[in-house]
Amino acid sequence: MNIKPNSKILLLIIVATLLPLALLLYPTIWVGKEKVQTPVSSDLWVLAIDEIDKAWRGNISLSDPLIKENCPHFYRENDDIPSELKSCRSEIFKCFFEGRKTSLKDKKKFHHLSINFKQISSSLEGKQPFVIELNIDENPLLLELNDNCRQVELPQGAYWGNHAVNIKERLWHTSGIRYFIDRFLVRRIDIREWLISMTAKDKAGVKKKGSLERLKNIYLAKTNDSIDYYAPASELLPNEMEDYCSFRRAEVLSSQVRTAITFHHGRETTEDIFTRPPSSNSAPHPFGVRKQKSPQFKAERANKKADADTCRLIFSKECREMSYYSLFPNSMGWSGVSELLGGPAEYVVNKKYPRKNLHPSSYYHSLDSTVHQAGKRVFWSGKGHRRIDFNFFTLPFFDKGVDSFDVGFRCMKVRLNE
């Protein structure tokens, strides 16, 4: 191309002017914009933490497409799981928020919210803290989410405890010791979390605590049939139950505390629990002061069979056809603890009478069975789940025609008052 000399000078002037300009703009164009932190209003923080709190309390839909993508084993096409059972679960929380693009609206403006998960390794044995980094418009905030959704504290005071000939010896008092009881039986998903954590520790070279292979084969094996993670874990043996509770810095529920919450406390108000002894006429069920409040009594009176109302209080044999989750939380007593009568039989630790370690009321017994009462105890050898492993003494045994019996359990955390 032939350029005239005048045009050459013009071109040179243009380049000379543009060059310094280009150099000035170079950092912003080529290096890229630096992330700008914009201050977040207090209302926005509260809004964001509210969302996290809601999800942590179990407000998560298991039929969400992100759950299907992140954790297909947790996906449920029709989510009928009660929020209490989904609450305080770090794995589900992660499955729900991983890769989720959330934005919050505050004063007509949209703000970008993201959640990152922090791996915290501590010298603490057992369950690790669950820490997340909440990010709003590039402002980070580290939050720890505590596993305290499904516990309730036993009010301080005097209660009925272990069976003894002398009624005075049945009495016990919390004496300033605090008992935090699991509201529900331990679930399969809880055991899964424990086993995964133990597997990770094995890989890290931490000392193994006995063989968990048996349980891993039940709970972690990948099979075609999807197991119901939210059903009570009923395949464990006593030492495994104790190991799981230790993982949560807790212990298996004692027979004494189980009796305290299954009898109605028998006093006029909850405040009276601290100052007055329990009534020797306490109703042998947790639903009301009077014996007449018992679902068995009511059903007998009304000449009716078990229905949703009675199943909501005692999940007996007749209830097995009904959906367990539609009646959840079932058998909730005055203390807030649920699944107290019916359901699977429950293992408890009895220091005074070691052979009275099973709460027998279960869904293997009909509604009218005498077994559905507070304070009943039978023996479980803990060696297996066959008929031969149980001794019901004079109480009616599990139903005929069944070879293997579910035994559930729950944990309690015991703390000292300062």
Which positions lie near another protein, rule CB under 8 A? Answer: 41-43, 45-46, 49-50, 52-53, 56-57, 88, 118, 120, 122-126, 129, 131, 141-149, 158, 161-162, 168-169, 171-177, 242, 246, 249-251, 349, 351-355, 414, 416, 418
Cβ proximity to another protein: between 41 and 292 the closer is 41
Taking the complex as a whole, how short is the minimal distance between the CB of residue 133 and another protein, in angstroms?
9
Cβ proximity to another protein: between 53 and 80 the closer is 53
Cβ proximity to another protein: between 54 and 112 the closer is 54
Taking the complex as a whole, how short is the minimal distance between the CB of residue 95 and another protein, in angstroms?
18
Cβ proximity to another protein: between 73 and 178 the closer is 178
Taking the complex as a whole, how short is the minimal distance between the CB of residue 358 and another protein, in angstroms?
16
Contacts of 314 (CB under 8 A, 6+ apart): 295, 296, 331, 341, 342, 361, 367, 372
Query: If we measure between CA atoms, which residue out of 397, 375, 395, 377 comes closest to residue 386?
Result: 397
Contacts of 14 (CB under 8 A, 6+ apart): none
Cβ proximity to another protein: between 176 and 205 the closer is 176
Taking the complex as a whole, how short is the minimal distance between the CB of residue 363 and another protein, in angstroms?
30
* Element containing residue 106 per DSSP (H, E): strand 102-106
Contacts of 117 (CB under 8 A, 6+ apart): 94, 98, 131, 132, 133
Cβ proximity to another protein: between 180 and 297 the closer is 180
E-assigned strand segments in 270-349 = 345-347
Taking the complex as a whole, how short is the minimal distance between the CB of residue 263 and another protein, in angstroms?
16
Q: Identify the three-state secondary structure at position 318.
A: helix
Taking the complex as a whole, how short is the minimal distance between the CB of residue 131 and another protein, in angstroms?
5
Show the tokens assigned to 268.
């006029």
Cβ proximity to another protein: between 158 and 371 the closer is 158
* Element containing residue 217 per DSSP (H, E): helix 213-219
E-assigned strand segments in 161-303 = 171-173, 177-182, 251-252
Q: Exposure pattern of 378-393 as b/e (b: 16+ CB <10 Å)?
A: bbbebeebeeebbebe
Taking the complex as a whole, how short is the minimal distance between the CB of residue 109 and another protein, in angstroms?
16
Rounded Cα gap, residues 228 and 232, in angstroms: 9
Cβ proximity to another protein: between 161 and 342 the closer is 161
Residue linked to tokens 């993201």: 114
Taking the complex as a whole, how short is the minimal distance between the CB of residue 126 and another protein, in angstroms?
7
